[in-house]
Amino acid sequence: MTSLSRFSGLTAITLAAALSLSAGLAIAGDTVTADRILNALQPKPVTRGLSLASPADPAARARESSFIDSLRNRATRSLSLGERTEIADLTPTKPRIDLEIQFDYNSAAISKNSAAAVQELGKALSDPALKGSTFVVAGHTDAIGGDAFNQDLSERRADTIKRYLVQNYGIAGSDLVTVGYGRSRLKDAQHPTDPVNRRVEIVNLVTKTASQ
């Protein structure tokens, strides 16, 4: 595995992780592991009652699949505002994990305290259970600085994670869709300058549940 030495020498920032499942459940913890990431990103079964009450619309599913396919092999900066919004709108319905991978202030370099979390992410995304999935790697910033600066920074942070996963874990670049949201989607809006807002969100854009 390639050394993480290029990420060293940065300000140490406390690492935390919150697992956000498709049902909306959030589990907080001080340590994130490959198993927890894998569990969060795997498709969740839909109960019989729910599936009968809200049958999937085949046409809507087809449109969603087409949209996801259109995102593969796209450069981060090529995504339009509309496409970024559509990705964000899909997120609440998908298996996802909010990894508070901390970055140095005004930087796309990963804090060395967050290196272990990125390694665990690589292990999880390499697991055969997630084979065939397309993942969103979404970068976020805090509210310090202007919109344009933060948008660029969030895109570079997402690209940093993608590059690390491709180079060190052999994950296909086409399976990782990078997007930046700048400061527009703060994790803690009550404390917009808190480092907790400088994070990376991972979403599995799977179009079916485990029961299908």
Q: Please provide the DSSP assignment of 54-98 as one string.
A: S---HHHHHHHHHHHHHHTT--GGG--HHHHHHHHHHGGGS-EEE
Please list, in sequence order, all residues whose beta carbon lies within 8 angstroms of the beta carbon of residue 151, skipping any fewer than 6 positions away: 180, 181, 182
- Give me 195's structure tokens: 């480092």
Q: Mean per-residue pLDDT for 64-78?
A: 91
d(CA 196, CA 84): 21
Residue 100 — φ and ψ, nearest 5°? -85, 65
Inform me whether the pLDDT recorded for 49 exceeds 50.
Answer: no
Q: How far is CA 32 from the centre of its chain?
A: 14
Average pLDDT over residues 114-124: 91
Q: What is the pTM of this model?
A: 0.75
Residue 196: per-residue pLDDT: 82
Higher pLDDT, 207 or 160: 160
- Max CA separation in the chain (angstroms): 54
Helix (H) / strand (E) element for 201: namely: strand 200-204
Compute the average pLDDT of residues 84-93: 91
pLDDT at 46: 56
Q: Cβ atoms within 10 A of the Cβ of 140, count?
A: 25
Tokens representing 165 are 């996963």
Residue 82 pLDDT greater than 80, yes or no:
yes
User: Confidence class of residue 93 from pLDDT cuts 50, 70 and 90?
Assistant: confident
- Show me where the domains of the chain are located: 5-38+56-204
pLDDT of residue 81: 92
| 77 alpha carbon, distance to own chain's centre | 17
Phi-psi bin for 33: left (phi > 0), alpha (psi -120 to 50), beta? beta
Q: What is the mean pLDDT of the chain?
A: 79
Which region, left, alpha or beta, applies to residue 73 given φ > 0 means left and ψ of -120 to 50 means alpha?
left
Residues 121-173 have pLDDT tens digits of 999 999 999 988 999 999 988 899 999 999 999 999 899 999 999 999 999 99
Instruction: For the domain covering 5-38+56-204, report its CATH number.
Output: 3.30.1330.60
